[in-house]
A = this chain, B = another copy of it.
Amino acid sequence: MIAGSTGPVVNERLSARARGLGDGRGAGAREGLISFVGGFPDPGSLPFDAIAEATARAMRAHGQWPLQYGPAFGYAGLLDLLVEKLGRDQGIACARDNLILTAGASQGLGLICDLFLDPGDTVLSEEPAWMGAVRLFRTAGVTVEGVPLDNEGTRVDLLARKLEELRGRGIAPKLLYTIPNFQNPTGVTTTLERRRRIVELADRYNFAILEDDAYHDLRFSGERLPTLYALDGGRHALYLGTFSKILAAGMRLGWVVADPSLIARLGGLKADGGTSPFAAHVAYEFCKDGTLEARIQELIALYRHRRDLLLGELDERMPEGITWSVPEGGFFVWLTLPERLDAPRLLPRARERGIDYLPGTDCFFDGGGRQNIRLAFSYAADDDLVRGIRILAELLGEELAR
């Protein structure tokens, strides 16, 4: 492209949605920095050999189907495996026609936006929220009403108040986006009592519950709580799951659980010719016969250790006035800084010293989060993690001492 050019002639003919878009070329991982940024699985835990073996088996044992066009709803063998897993691990009783495979939970979320949302609609979302959801809602051209969280999860009192206030203005939000387990970015888990209240409110105000449960299987301590989907019986809830955290993010395999009539429509909205039969058959061959369950136990041990290491370092190193969440699972700890520190403004200095983090502002819809940092403990190896937290603590200490 010529410098200063505004692009091709047809640029002026884009859709309303596309004109509102930023550039998709994100920053990505920065070479040579200790990264607390992305919710990336531990690289050392990725099952390279087992995937190669599963692929070899899939190529031998499934006829043409791993390499051929497949059904819109995904490979039936993997769907059946998920039906079994969801019943056993998530307490979700469902059948094959409650399920559709997606390219990660993120595609599932995108399809559900297409399913429910017209431009101008209002949605509810936890705030701070997963930055992928922030981006998707922005692209969909909807108004997002944020609902805060505390250490017990979604503030249902504020949710109820918000719903009543919106009703007074004649606004009926279409859905609520929530991650009830080890929330991304805060790490908090919504209590059973609050889950029940969310389901009640969905019933009273008739909105869909979009339950993103990407981290469910990675619980390090405390008791498993029932999903919103199970509590609601699938009347208002749609449930998103993913293999990204428990198998391999690079395979881009996730799923949506919902009423069969909604699943059928999601299939109609899917424009990708069905989620990869290749990846789905390989995942099936990898997961069957209890291998996935064994791997999940190993990952729980790995990430519990990382969380404990991070929390120990934070306890030991962080200056007075900085607080953080204590997650019972998942990948994230959420730091809250004193008012006079500014997470996005400090980021270039942190990078100069060799570390990278996600400023809280990426997780808010309206520019909040300047006093927050999301730390992912999933990616950096033990010694990097320790070194990185020391660097961060030192930087924050210096700033506070000014």
Contacts and interface: CB of A to CB of B under 8 A. Distances in A.
Interface string A38-53: 1011010011110110
Given A9-B235, A115-B15, A277 B265 contact: no
Given A60-B48, A115-B15, A272-B106, A10 B68 contact: no
A139 interface: yes
Contact of A23 (B10, B63, B250, B268): B268
A398 to B, nearest CB: 33
A17 B266 CA distance: 11
Contact of A66 (B59, B66, B244, B250): B250
Interface string A234-250: 11100000001000111
A267 interface: yes
A271 B109 contact: yes
Contact of A252 (B114, B206, B276): B276
B117 A25 contact: no
A139 B269 contact: yes
A221 interface: no
A388 B29 CA distance: 55
11 contacts: A1-B261, A7-B261, A8-B258, A10-B207, A14-B115, A15-B114, A15-B117, A25-B72, A67-B250, A248-B278, A251-B278
Given A13-B116, A69-B249, 18 more contacts: A6-B261, A7-B262, A9-B235, A9-B236, A10-B235, A12-B206, A14-B115, A15-B116, A18-B268, A23-B268, A24-B269, A55-B55, A67-B251, A111-B271, A136-B271, A139-B269, A139-B271, A276-B276
Interface of A: 1, 6-18, 21-26, 28, 38, 40-41, 43, 46-49, 51-52, 55-56, 59-60, 63-73, 102-104, 106-107, 109-111, 113-118, 121, 132, 136, 139, 174-175, 203, 206-208, 234-236, 244, 248-252, 258-262, 264-279, 281-282
